[in-house]
Amino acid sequence: MAEAEAMHILLFGAGGQVGREISALARTQGHKLTALDHAALDITDPAAVARAIETSQPDVLINAAAYTAVDKAESEPERAARINAIAPGLIAERCAHARIPLLHISTDYVFDGTKPSAYVESDPIAPLGVYGRTKAAGEAAVRAAMERHIILRTAWVYGQHGNNFLKTMLRLAAERDRLTVVADQRGCPTATADIAMALLAAAHSAVRGDARWGTYHFAGTGATTWHGFASAIIEAAAPYTGRKPEVAPITTADYPTPAHRPANSELASDLFERHFGLRAAPWQQRVREVVATLQPPANTP
């Protein structure tokens, strides 16, 4: 199937920041899209999942639905498990029954962050908290239920939709003259636009029948710290806002949270590039683009 040919995509989690980006890109590329958010579909309900698949008869299913409140998960482990661990297995079982491939999004939080270099797909997982453990369990459930799947691990996700680190920094920069940001955790900031492109490229391959099934890493090109990420956001916004608050580095110990974060979340995306021919843009470039997109339109006479 050439890239110009349309697929019918069934998308779960259409209301999230990644789901909204997938929806926009799929429509731009001319695909038929059945996009369901959490109000339209409870992914923890096996009968509802089965009905959604049977009704839409898609070529491929993309599951972008997840419980992503990392700290809140520590106090809501059962809810996080239902959405992140159990539901992906139910979805995979129904996809296997319907003979359609599944693309499922996972996370860098399946690792403990102790590796000194970038994580590759074959590295052993060792999640530090409830969120990471439930996402790891969801991966395992997908693998156990079907062969024709692609699990895409990504990290430090941001974009123009939903709530994310970039938008939080822009809001705080408008309110404060000094920001304090953790400087001893590193990773690869990943734009939702790149994730959407990666998933649709993988979906094309899956529908064509030439995909190499399994688990892949896909993250923004280049690595930085949260402090470096925040500094780049403030720098990109300054020409629009006229503000440039100080961004002061702090340690993880200075900013305790309910959930432990990996000190190293860097993901190596070479395997995805080799198999699907796509690499994410440099993260600094995407930051500038997203910041520009979020600016209010200029006044016109």
Active-site annotation holder among 67, 109, 119, 131: 131
Helices (H), the chain: 17-28, 46-56, 77-81, 87-98, 130-145, 165-175, 192-208, 226-241, 270-276, 283-293
Could you tell me which residues come within 8 angstroms of residue 6 by beta carbon, excluding any fewer than 6 positions away?
Answer: 29, 30, 31, 32
| CA nearest neighbour of 173 among 223, 257, 240 | 240
Q: SS3 string of 180-245? A: EEECCCEECCEEHHHHHHHHHHHHHHHHHCCCCCEEEECCCECCEEHHHHHHHHHHHHHHHHCCCC
The label of the residue with tokens 């059945």 reads 34
Q: Are strands 178-182 and 246-250 parallel, antiparallel or unpaired?
A: parallel
Distance between CA atoms of 43 and 35, rounded to whole angstroms? 13
Sign of the Cα pseudo-torsion (122, 128, 131, 136, in order): positive
Distance between CA atoms of 267 and 89, rounded to whole angstroms? 24
216 catalytic per annotation: no
Strand partners, 181: 249
Distance between CA atoms of 81 and 124, rounded to whole angstroms? 21
CA angle 124/61/17 to nearest 5° reads 75
Which residues are designated catalytic? 131
